Amino acid sequence: MEPTCKRSLDFRIIFEDIEYWAVQCFFIKREEKAEKFPKYPLNCDHFVKSVNYGINIYVHLPKFIISGEKEEVKQLFEKRNFDELQTKIQCKILINYSEIRKMTLGELMEFIKEFEEGKHAEYDAPISFTYEKLTQESRETVVNNQNEFAQFLTHLYCAYRKIEMKMEEAGCSDILPDIDLKLESLVQICFNLENAKNDYKSMDKNNFLNTYPILKKLFFCYTDYIRYSIEHVDIIDEEKYLPGSSYEISFWYRRLNTWYPIKTNGKWIDCMDSFIVTPPGYEKLIKKFHQTVELSNFPVVSEDKASEPYIKVEKNEKILFGLVNMNNAKMKQIPDNLDSLESECPQECTEDLRKWICAKCGIFVRIELNSNGQSVLYCNCGSKEYSESLLSCNHPSHPQDLNSDDLLPIILEELQEFHKQNERYTDFKVVDAIVHLTENTSREEVSTILSDLQNVNLTDDIQNLINIYLNETL
């Protein structure tokens, strides 16, 4: 069983990530009636005729599983005529506006059947009532343009409450208590409401942690205003002075689906989608990330307590990663349904599984076993045969490569020796590389020349040295 639902609207907020059918079921066990008294207090304009006791259930189930029109779904529930496959559908239910459960449709039907048989007496509660208007004269509060006002307040509530629920889930302690002002001065109520509306108009709607207290304050200033207006039978015409529109709120409210708060170095900050967490000392790695196509604008958060860089996604999931040198990949489309490359670092510096990202395009590298039994890597750059030397992880215990400037003389010496032993068969690219490496060639030109050598049939030792240099200078 999941935690108790704080308010009935929260149920809709929690389960809005997919398109669903929302079905409400009433099951009345008994009715209690009341007699009409001859006299009532002067401020009383209605009396309760009867109260129905039973259970009220909201059911949310995915639309893609039960297709059809609204009436067809209604008849399915009325007749309880579900097939075997439908009874296995996972759905969410809200019982009497207070308790959330997850169960299959078959389990729900069994639960309803047991309730009708007299079991589950703990759910026997008032679920509806009927009333009658008294004949004596009475005044009522008039709400001008009620639908627009109610829609704005509903969107306002859903926005602040969704932020609040995500803060609760993340363990953020900055949750504000509900505000119950109950002021008796209309001047003070209107003053508070006007200030709250001005704060709403001037707030940064892209910073949800900052908007949260402003939205919540505005909502409760409105409820205080409504309470006073009803108690004093005043006309509510606030719909003409709303600080925004429900459409405006719904536009950025949808962004909350990918938003969540995170705590870094003792401070809570906003985050959308995912981001990189890195300890100090990895500036060079972040520079590589921001030079890729996909990750050029990827947010980076510094965290002193992190042991190595990782990608953090919603619900505090951490993805360890390493980089793959996909230079000179052959242009080829990524086949469908390939798995991402996920493995330990080949250097055995840690036993942690990690995903591998192309150091050039920035996407997760995919892997395929071809017909020759050779593992082939794929990314947006193309395809390349797998080699352990292409992978470089970020764990502190990972063997530190030589400085790229120290590698060049070693590579030059190895290439000269290779050319000497294979002079008749040496690829012209090897000769060209030897010539340029003996001259004052720029780092960018050296990287281009060595990248070209990755497709040349050299010894494994030379290829490993080249890969290490290119990984260092990417």
Give pLDDT tens digits for 104-114: 888 988 988 88
* Residues 16, 3 contacting (CB under 8 angstroms): no
DSSP SS3 for 301: strand
- The domain in which residue 204 lies consists of 146-256
Q: What are the E-state strand segments in 258-363?
A: 259-264, 267-272, 275-278, 300-302, 310-313, 317-324, 339-340, 342-343, 354-358
Report the pLDDT value the prediction gives residue 375, as an integer from 0 to 100.
92
387 and 410 fall within a common domain? no
pLDDT one-digit tens code per residue, 373-391: 889 999 999 999 998 888 8
Report the pLDDT value the prediction gives residue 41, as an integer from 0 to 100.
65
Residue 120 lies in a domain: yes
Residue 415 lies in a domain: yes
342 and 411 fall within a common domain? no
Domain edge (last residue) among 73, 107, 133: 133
Report the pLDDT value the prediction gives residue 251, as an integer from 0 to 100.
78
327 and 385 fall within a common domain? yes
Residue 3 has pLDDT above 60, yes or no: no
- Average pLDDT of 384-406? 75
196 and 285 fall within a common domain? no
Report the pLDDT value the prediction gives residue 138, as an integer from 0 to 100.
45
Domain edge (last residue) among 222, 256, 290: 256
Round the average pLDDT of the chain to a whole number and report it. Answer: 80
Residue 261 lies in a domain: no
* Residues 11, 58 contacting (CB under 8 angstroms): yes
What phi and psi values does residue 289 have, to the nearest 5 degrees?
A: -60, -45
Residue 252 lies in a domain: yes
Residue 171 lies in a domain: yes
Residue 165 lies in a domain: yes
53 and 117 fall within a common domain? yes
pLDDT one-digit tens code per residue, 21-57: 778 888 888 888 877 666 666 666 667 778 888 888 8
Residue 111 lies in a domain: yes
Please state the domain count of the chain. Answer: 4
Q: Are strands 90-95 and 342-343 parallel, antiparallel or unpaired?
A: unpaired
| 117-to-104, 112, 120, 256 alpha-carbon distances in Å | 20, 9, 9, 43
Q: For residue 315, what are its two tokens?
A: 């619900």
12 and 126 fall within a common domain? yes
DSSP single-letter state for residue 353: -
Q: Smallest Cα–Cα separation from 308: which of 427, 196, 393, 410? A: 393
372 and 325 fall within a common domain? yes
pTM of the model: 0.54
Angle between helices 404-421 and 443-452 (to 10 degrees): 40
Residue 262 lies in a domain: no
122 and 12 fall within a common domain? yes
Work out the pLDDT band at 354, boundaries 50, 70, 90: very high
- Terminal CA-CA length for the chain: 50
Report the pLDDT value the prediction gives residue 211, as an integer from 0 to 100.
93
pLDDT one-digit tens code per residue, 264-319: 777 887 877 678 888 888 887 787 778 887 887 777 888 888 888 888 876 667 88
Work out the pLDDT band at 214, boundaries 50, 70, 90: very high
Work out the pLDDT band at 143, boundaries 50, 70, 90: low
Domain edge (last residue) among 341, 361, 393: 393
201 and 158 fall within a common domain? yes
